[in-house]
């Protein structure tokens, strides 16, 4: 009797592992609609009620448990918590880096040793077939001309092919950035990086698998004159994305802004006026010097101003002088006036100013003062008016 019991115990210990039997979850994975093969991809199984950390995986196809094309086979009893009839298990294909995944599919554990999961289709990632970036002037192509003191609308247009149906496209974003000193992931800065997080998806475009994505950017006049990259990123409803870019060039913009009038107030003849300050603003995207010239009534007349009274009625061009770097306050005699200020000329003369373009998005830091005085010669009276022509010239080394 004792011997029989011992044998029974031995049998129990030998067979104990079989107390938790196998139960297979099997299914068929259809190749992606763009023809990518499902074989070789990994599929994950877990019981949501136990959490995804307790999971099992298999390789679809001949390299996996099934040894069969497009089929997977997982013994759910190997979960740490096992599986039993009535359990709802979830499966999904993992992203192995090629962006082919699947949505989640559920299966209910029943009897007879296995359960078949509804067919899963390998999801095709969206494919951006083309990207073009330009402004409203498409000729010449790949050039963007900014607008002084304003923004310019730049559009990135992408054509997307989505074999799972265009309606599976969930959202599109775009980045437009200076390709030389910025990058896709950089933060926004009007000089070098712009983001559009809600590009327009035109589902009416093309066939059932095509859509058009339009990303608009409003680019400021002080965006760097460089090669720029517009990259469009499209997500489908499984958060799988595709990204593609195109290059363009932002042309240099020479532009400046000025106060409207230099007012010297009342000046007696044979006196030098007080100093008048005059703002010059760089409204372009390159460092500028100034080209300066003046005239009284018409260009090259040799005068700075025409006056309404007096014997002469003209102030010679050489009597209007400026200093582009330093203020000299207070009254001034003619000699000091000559030493500390440079005379205006009738012809354009380029003067070093080195006014950099705007670099601060919050306040305009591309403004410099210029300083002006005029000497009124003997015999000039009345109201005097003249013209100063400011020109912007690209400063060397910019």
Partner 1 sequence: MNKYLLILFLAILCTSGILLAEDFKEGIKLAEGKNVININFGFNPFYVEDLVKIYPEITTVTYNDSEKELGYVNVFGGIGDNFMIYPNQTYEITTRKEVTLNLK
The 64-93 site mask, x for binding partner 1 (CB under 8 A), equals -xxxx--x-x-x--x---------------
Q: Does 194 bind partner 1 (CB under 8 A)?
A: no
The string over 168-202, giving b where at least 16 C-beta atoms fall within 10 Å of a residue's C-beta and e elsewhere, is bbebbbbbbbbbeebeeeeeeebbbbbebeebebb
How far apart are CB 55 and partner 1 at their closest, in Å?
17
Under 8 Å between Cβ of 217 and 199: no
Tell which residue, 17, 73, 18, 84, has the closest CA to residue 47. Answer: 84
Kindly indicate which of the ranges 21-29, 92-100, 118-126, 219-227 contains the residues binding partner 1, using the contact rule CB under 8 A: 21-29
Nearest C-alpha neighbor of 131 from the set 34, 84, 199: 199
Contact call for residue 124 and partner 1 (CB under 8 A): no
State the nearest-atom distance from the C-beta of 189 to partner 1, in Å: 57
Distance CA 259, CA 283 (A): 13
Q: Which segment (20-28, 96-104, 128-136, 149-157) binds partner 1 by CB under 8 A?
A: 20-28
Tell me: does residue 17 bind partner 1 (CB under 8 A).
Answer: yes
Pairing of strands 303-310, 387-394: unpaired
Query: What is the radius of gyration, based on Cα positions, of the chain?
Result: 38
Q: 28 or 264: whose CB is closer to partner 1?
A: 28
Q: Given candidates 48, 103, 113, 302, which one binds partner 1 under the rule CB under 8 A?
A: 113
Q: How far is the C-alpha of 239 from the C-alpha of 125, rounded, in Å?
A: 9
Only segment of 24-32, 216-224, 252-260, 354-362 that touches partner 1 (CB under 8 A): 24-32
How far is residue 189's CA from residue 360's CA, in Å, rounded to a whole number? Answer: 9
Answer yes or no whether residue 118 interacts with partner 1 by CB under 8 A.
Answer: no
Provide, rounded to whole angstroms, the least separation between the CB of residue 53 and partner 1: 21
User: Residue 111 interacts with partner 1 (CB under 8 A)?
Assistant: yes
Give 12 or 389: the residue with its C-beta nearer to partner 1.
12
Whichever of 4 and 139 has its CB closer to partner 1, that residue is 4
Q: Rank residues 111 and 397 by Cβ distance to partner 1 and give the closer one.
A: 111
| Residue 140 touches partner 1, criterion: CB under 8 A | no
State which residue, 75 or 275, has the beta carbon closest to partner 1. 75
**Applying CB under 8 A, does 52 fall inside the site for partner 1?**
no
Give the three-class secondary structure for 238.
coil
**Measured from the CB of residue 3, what is the shortest distance to partner 1 in angstroms?**
14
Nearer to partner 1, 23 or 166 (CB): 23
Q: Which helix (H) or strand (E) holds 372?
A: strand 367-376
Q: Give me the residues paired with residue 307 across strands.
A: 384
Note whether 110 binds partner 1 by CB under 8 A: no
Judged on CB neighbours under 10 Å (0-12, 13-18, 19+), 95 is middle
Q: Who's near 210: CB < 8 A, 6+ residues apart?
A: 159, 160, 161, 162, 166
The verdict on 9 binding partner 1 (CB under 8 A) reads: yes
Closest approach, Cβ 113 to partner 1, in A, equals: 3
- CA nearest neighbour of 28 among 63, 68, 55: 68
Q: Which is nearer to partner 1, 21 or 367 (CB)?
A: 21
Closest approach of partner 1 to the CB of residue 30, in Å: 13
User: What residue ranges in 60-150 does DSSP mark as E strands?
Assistant: 71-75, 88-93, 105-108, 114-121, 127-134, 143-144
Six-digit token string for 274 = 């007080």
Contact between 4 and partner 1 (CB under 8 A)?
no
**What residues are paired with 219 via a beta bridge?**
152
116 binds partner 1 (CB under 8 A): yes
Applying CB under 8 A, does 342 fall inside the site for partner 1?
no
The DSSP letter of residue 286 is S
* Rounded least distance, CB 62 to partner 1, Å: 10
The residues binding partner 1 (CB under 8 A) are 5, 8-9, 11-12, 14-19, 21-22, 24, 26, 28, 65-68, 71, 73, 75, 78, 111-114, 116
């Amino acid at each position: 009797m004792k011997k029989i019991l011992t044998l029974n115990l031995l049998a129990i210990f030998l067979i104990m592992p079989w107390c938790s039997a196998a139960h297979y979850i099997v299914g068929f994975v259809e190749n992606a609609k763009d023809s990518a093969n499902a074989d070789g991809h990994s599929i994950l199984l877990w019981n949501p009620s136990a959490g995804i950390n307790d999971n099992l995986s298999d390789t679809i196809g001949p390299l996996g448990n099934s040894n069969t094309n497009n089929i997977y086979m997982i013994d759910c009893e190997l979960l740490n918590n096992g599986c039993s009839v009535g359990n709802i298990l979830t499966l999904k294909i993992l992203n192995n880096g090629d962006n082919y995944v699947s949505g989640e599919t559920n299966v209910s554990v029943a009897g007879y040793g296995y359960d078949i999961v509804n067919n899963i289709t390998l999801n095709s990632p969206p494919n951006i077939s083309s990207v073009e970036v330009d402004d409203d002037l498409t000729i010449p192509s790949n050039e963007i001309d900014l607008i002084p003191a304003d923004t310019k609308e730049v559009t990135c247009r992408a054509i997307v092919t989505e074999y799972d149906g265009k309606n599976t496209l969930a959202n599109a974003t775009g980045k437009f950035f200076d390709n030389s000193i910025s990058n896709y992931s950089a933060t926004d800065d009007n000089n070098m990086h712009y983001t559009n997080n809600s590009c327009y998806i035109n589902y009416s475009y093309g066939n059932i698998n095509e859509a058009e994505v339009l990303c608009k950017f409003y680019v400021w006049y002080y965006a760097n004159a460089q090669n720029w990259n517009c990259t469009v990123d499209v997500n489908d409803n499984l958060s799988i994305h595709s990204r593609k870019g195109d290059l363009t060039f932002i042309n240099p913009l020479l532009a400046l802004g000025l106060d409207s009038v230099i007012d010297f107030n009342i000046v007696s003849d044979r006196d030098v006026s007080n100093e008048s300050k005059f703002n010059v603003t760089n409204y372009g995207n390159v460092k500028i010097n100034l080209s300066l010239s003046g005239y009284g009534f018409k260009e090259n007349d040799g005068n700075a101003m025409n006056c309404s009274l007096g014997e002469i009625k003209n102030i010679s061009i050489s009597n209007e002088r400026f200093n582009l770097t330093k203020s000299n306050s207070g009254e001034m005699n003619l000699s000091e006036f000559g030493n500390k200020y440079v005379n205006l000329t009738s012809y354009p003369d380029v003067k070093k100013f080195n006014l950099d373009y705007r670099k601060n998005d919050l306040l305009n830091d591309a403004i410099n003062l210029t300083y002006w005085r005029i000497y009124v010669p003997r015999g000039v009276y009345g109201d005097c008016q003249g013209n100063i022509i400011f020109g912007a010239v690209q400063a060397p080394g910019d």
